[in-house]
Amino acid sequence: MTNLLLSCFLSIFLPLTNAPDNQGVETSDTDSVSVSIAPFHGNARAALSLTYDDGCIDQYELIAPRMDSLGLRGTFFLIGKGLGEGALSWDKIVSLDRRGHEIGNHGWTHTDLRKIPSDSVRSELRLTSDLIASHIGHRPKSIAPPFNSYDKRVLDIAGEFSIAVRTFQKGLGQGKHFGQRYTDLPAMKSWIDGIVRDGKWGVTMVHGIRDGWDKWEHEEDYWNFLKYAASLEGLWAATFAEVAAYRKEAAECSLKVERCPEGALVMTPQCNLDPKLYTMPLTLVIRKGEICETIDIDPFGAPVIYFLK
């Protein structure tokens, strides 16, 4: 090991720096070897985050068990005031967290954050974050602004309490008032197929299933959509915070690659983000000729030695 490292100091040094707008994809080639950071974890082609707003009890009783059985995990954006006092008890919220689902922050009173002073925005987000943390043991990492209403001021303040804010989403539901937005199974399949085809991050938003303002007329459509999404090749289904963290790490962390004479690569990650908040491993894609392999590394970890085949 010592000899290998010594010889690597004498080898060519290949800095590999990621531009902030490239979603983490940057390649450095030498002697037909390339190393890049995958745009999504596991070198998936696209990502999907299934999010749920307002803490409707259907989400616990109907949605979460189906997600568990399919190996999917969702992000549940909960309203702080009165949380745990209704049907969605703290036992149930803690259970969701322990099963790997994400508990997110949806404000204290479901107020339009754009329409209240900055101090009130802070209060809405802090109170909810504190309350959730006191029960599940850690702060929510994600925020969904009520009514999906935000501006730069709201986003700046939200950044004090989260690593990610939901600023885009595909609303799913079949309430009659949805009109043209009626979401049946073919429409949802077509949407997620497009996400995979285009290599994007799709985020869905659902409220109730049998109850609530956008309840479903044909709930089987949603169950079949979940099954379909879970079966799609190349789609990374993960919580909102996980995908957001991965993308931020891929965009902002860098990797130095040294090529050693013994046929090894020494890859040294460098990342200035907070390791307590950004905990997703980064997937590296290593190509040499016809060979393409992926490995996961800790962006805050020690240098990784990889032996080329």
Shortest separation between residue 108's beta carbon and Zn ion, angstroms: 12
The type of residue at 116 is I
CB 241 within 8 A of CB 141: yes
Shortest separation between residue 111's beta carbon and Zn ion, angstroms: 10
Residue with tokens 């079966």: 231
Our CB check for Zn ion shows the closer of 132 and 260 to be: 132
CB 82 within 8 A of CB 236: no
Our CB check for Zn ion shows the closer of 116 and 304 to be: 116
Shortest separation between residue 146's beta carbon and Zn ion, angstroms: 5
Measured CA to CA, the distance from residue 165 to residue 155 in angstroms comes to 7
Contact residues: Zn ion, CB under 5 A: 53-54, 146
Our CB check for Zn ion shows the closer of 53 and 102 to be: 53
SS3 string, 59-102, reads HHHHHHHHHHHHCCCEEEEECCCCCECCCCEHHHHHHHHHCCCE
The type of residue at 62 is L
Our CB check for Zn ion shows the closer of 53 and 249 to be: 53
Residue nearest to Zn ion according to CB distances in the complex: 53
Shortest separation between residue 227's beta carbon and Zn ion, angstroms: 26
Our CB check for Zn ion shows the closer of 8 and 79 to be: 79
Q: What is the CA radius of gyration of the chain?
A: 22
Shortest separation between residue 295's beta carbon and Zn ion, angstroms: 40
CB 267 within 8 A of CB 304: yes
